[in-house]
Amino acid sequence: MEQKNEKRKTIVIGITGSIAAFKAEELVKELSADYDIEVILTQSGKKLIEVEKFQKLCPVRDCLFQPGMTYRDYLEREKIGHISLADKAGLILVAPATANLIGKIANGIADDLLTTTIMASKAKILIAPAMNNNMYTNPIMRENTGKLKKLGYFFIGPATGRLACNRHAVGRLSDTGDIAKKARVLLEEPLKNKSVLITAGSTIEPIDPVRHITNKSSGKMGYALAETAKAMGADVTLVIGPASIAKPGVKVIEVNTAQEMYDACMQNFAGKNLVICSAAVSDYKVLDESREKIKKENNATLKLELTKNPDILKEIGRRKTSSQKLVGFALETENLMENAVKKLKNKNCDMIIANSQEAINSENNKVFIITKNAVEELEEMPKSLLAAEILDRFR
């Protein structure tokens, strides 16, 4: 085993009892080139891996209390085990993470070495879930992950693919290379001391008190950008329209209409280093919103007169300074590249992310990154990784 370099940052990797535990060895090898690694095994995790292999790579611990040690022995040690690990960790990475482990963290249960270390640490926590798809989509699991995201925990995956139960569904551990990439971003914080404003989700335009015009945007891309920008060290403000997914742990300004989003952006974009407009803003609103519910028996037909909403991207492009960067999104059903290039110029953007309608409400996205000097086509990837690809260009 290599001798520790005191100048290197430490990653504590927690391995739980998921079938994907065998992939953790590859992850340890990939990260140990740049960081000191310490592994914590849960009791279930011990049953799924060859402990001796890990012991040749890095220190491995698996229990809160060492066999044969007395109370006095603990007092005489320089530091208690889980406190020592909690203090030295620059990052705690749980890969793979089971539903059981996520549930315990979300509810403050600290009953083994891994959960007590997480509870005692002020380091960033990155969780890579891997489990059966029914477990992952269970409402309790969704509530637990949403709660942890609000508290500032970071997640990657799970991916969709072949599961241990032989189903093709969501629940597969993310690629170890992708996990390692996100771990590096969290540790190195390439956007530290920068401030970012992001818009996300759809907007709604009322027709009457119970009806409105909107679109299919889920907000997933904007949320991924906000979470990733925070992970990279930025101070993030997220302006969001209505969305049902768990909000990331950043400053959030909730709005409904395009006018409300416009007002929030105009009040907050000054001084921001980077502005990313990923929201799907309604281009039009109803000219005369009815104060009462429109009754269908009184109207064989219904005509709505629409008027344009303010153009948020164009106005920020007009107002931005030379030190500010502006990114817009272009979703088109035809002539994607032509319309995206036109948008880059007309809105005075520094970058346009061009994608098609297949991206709506999907976990993945395939895009073109367009600047004044180049067009780059990216392969399809999870939106969390696409967010890192976009933001990495502004480090």
Are 159 and 177 in contact, with CB atoms under 8 Å apart?
no
CB atoms inside a 10 Å sphere around CB 94: 28
CATH number for the domain including 203?
3.40.50.10300
pLDDT of 24 > 50? The answer is: yes
> Where does a domain end: 146, 166, 188?
188
Residue at 5 is within a domain: no
Are 215 and 280 in contact, with CB atoms under 8 Å apart?
yes
Quote the tokens at residue 51: 């402990």
Residue at 1 is within a domain: no
Q: Quick one: how far is CA 229 from the chain centroid?
A: 9
Per-residue pLDDT of 100-123, as tens digits, reads 999 999 999 998 899 999 998 999
The reply to whether 200 and 179 lie within a common domain is: no
Residue at 350 is within a domain: yes
The reply to whether 247 and 161 lie within a common domain is: no
pTM score, two decimals?
A: 0.73
- Structure confidence at residue 66 (pLDDT): 62
Span 275-284, average pLDDT: 92
Span 194-208, average pLDDT: 92
Question: 351-361: b or e for each residue (b if 16 or more CB lie within 10 Å)?
Answer: bbbbbbeebbe
CA distances from 343 to 202, 278, 280, 350 (A): 19, 14, 14, 11
The reply to whether 245 and 365 lie within a common domain is: yes
CA distances from 36 to 31, 168, 238, 254 (A): 8, 35, 34, 41
Count of structural domains within the chain: 2
pLDDT of 64 > 70? The answer is: no
The reply to whether 137 and 278 lie within a common domain is: no
- Structure confidence at residue 93 (pLDDT): 96
> Where does a domain end: 134, 158, 188?
188
CA distance 286 to 208: 9
Closest CA to 237 of 202, 289, 196, 205: 196
Closest CA to 286 of 260, 258, 263, 248: 258
The reply to whether 169 and 265 lie within a common domain is: no
Residue at 2 is within a domain: no
Which residue range(s) make up the domain with 257? 195-394
- Structure confidence at residue 165 (pLDDT): 79
The reply to whether 119 and 164 lie within a common domain is: yes
Residue at 365 is within a domain: yes
Supply the DSSP symbol for 3.
P
pLDDT of 4 > 70? The answer is: no
Span 21-46, average pLDDT: 90
pLDDT of 294 > 90? The answer is: no
> Where does a domain end: 159, 188, 217?
188
Span 193-216, average pLDDT: 89
Give residue for tokens 């990260």: 31
Per-residue pLDDT of 120-150, as tens digits, reads 899 999 999 999 999 999 999 999 998 998 8
For residue 395, what are the contacts with CB-CB under 8 A and spacing of at least 6? 190, 191, 232
| Virtual torsion, Cα 289, 293, 297, 302, nearest 10 deg | 20
The reply to whether 246 and 341 lie within a common domain is: yes
Cα-flanking dihedrals φ and ψ of residue 2, to 5°?
Answer: -70, 145
- Residues with a catalytic annotation lie at 165
Range with lowest mean pLDDT among 21-25, 46-50, 252-256, 372-376 = 46-50
Strand order in the sheet with 154-155: 60-61, 36-41, 10-15, 89-97, 124-129, 154-155
Per-residue pLDDT of 350-390, as tens digits, reads 999 998 766 666 778 889 999 998 999 988 888 888 898 89
Residue at 3 is within a domain: no
Quote the tokens at residue 254: 């909730």
CA distance 395 to 392: 5
Are 145 and 180 in contact, with CB atoms under 8 Å apart?
no
- Structure confidence at residue 2 (pLDDT): 47
The reply to whether 171 and 205 lie within a common domain is: no
CATH number for the domain including 121?
3.40.50.1950
Supply the DSSP symbol for 4.
P
The reply to whether 207 and 283 lie within a common domain is: yes
Per-residue pLDDT of 164-197, as tens digits, reads 878 888 889 998 998 998 898 888 888 999 999 9
Are 319 and 269 in contact, with CB atoms under 8 Å apart?
yes
Are 313 and 277 in contact, with CB atoms under 8 Å apart?
yes
DSSP 190-240: TTTT-EEEEEESB--EEEETTEEE-----SHHHHHHHHHHHHTT-EEEEEE
The reply to whether 309 and 367 lie within a common domain is: yes
Quote the tokens at residue 84: 């020592």
Confidence of residue 76 (pLDDT cuts 50, 70, 90): low
The reply to whether 156 and 103 lie within a common domain is: yes
Residue at 4 is within a domain: no
The reply to whether 171 and 287 lie within a common domain is: no
Residue at 345 is within a domain: yes
The letter for the amino acid at 219 is G
pLDDT of 332 > 80? The answer is: no
CA distance 389 to 147: 26
